[in-house]
């Protein structure tokens, strides 16, 4: 689906993906239908207290995307301003997922700032599937750290990654 100038339409779906959840995979699957090539930009955000290193997250996302059979997706790590990364990759679209009103307020502000930085790149919001709306990586990690079950929120292989990491760093709580 090239643009009106015959160029490949490239989108970027940025995030920390720490860990990648079923909600992320849903947005990736749906976002990949909107563009010729979707780049999953795995970035760092120290304020999110990551459980996995950037390289581990990139490998995890690549593995999960391969297992889904989505063939127009690339996974690239970046540690730069999103709009600079998107421009470098030739993207014309930023894909973002929305779960709730709080997400919208934050994402709307970010889209406005990004438009100020580069008005040639559009932001497209995809609503989370109703069954996946409550899922957040931060909550998945918290549940796992307290010994709760996360199988409804991540794939079986990501569940094993998270449980293995929690076993290594230690659980929280006394139950």
CA pair distance 7, 1, nearest whole angstrom: 9
99: annotated active-site residue: yes
24: annotated active-site residue: yes
Catalytic residue, from 33, 48, 138, 171: name it: 48
CA pair distance 74, 143, nearest whole angstrom: 30
CA pair distance 28, 34, nearest whole angstrom: 10
Catalytic residue, from 24, 96, 141, 159: name it: 24
Nearest by Cα to 133 from 24, 38, 56 = 24
Residue 12 carries which DSSP code? E
Pairing mode, strands 93-98 and 10-15: parallel
| Secondary structure (3-state) at 10 | strand
List phi, psi (to 5°) of 145. -65, -30
Catalytic residue, from 57, 96, 99, 159: name it: 99
4: annotated active-site residue: no
Task: Give me the residue label for tokens 């094993």.
Answer: 160
33: annotated active-site residue: no
Q: List active site positions.
A: 24, 48, 99, 137
């Amino acid at each position: 689906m090239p643009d009106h100038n015959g160029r490949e339409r490239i989108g970027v779906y940025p995030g920390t993906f720490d860990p990648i959840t079923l909600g992320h995979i849903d947005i990736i699957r749906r976002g990949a239908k909107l563009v010729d090539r979707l780049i999953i930009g795995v970035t760092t955000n120290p304020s999110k207290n990551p459980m996995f290193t950037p390289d581990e997250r990139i490998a995890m996302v690549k593995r999960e995307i391969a297992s889904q059979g989505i063939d127009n997706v690339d996974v690239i790590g970046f540690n730069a301003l999103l709009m600079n990364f998107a421009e470098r990759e030739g993207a014309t679209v930023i894909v973002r997922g929305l779960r709730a009103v709080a997400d919208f307020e934050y994402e709307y502000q970010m889209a406005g700032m990004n438009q100020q930085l580069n008005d040639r790149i559009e932001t497209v919001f995809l609503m989370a599937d109703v069954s996946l709306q409550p899922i957040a990586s931060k909550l998945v990690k918290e549940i796992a750290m307290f010994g709760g079950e996360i199988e409804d929120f991540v794939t079986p292989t990501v569940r094993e990654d998270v449980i293995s990491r929690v076993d290594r760093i230690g659980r929280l709580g006394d139950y």
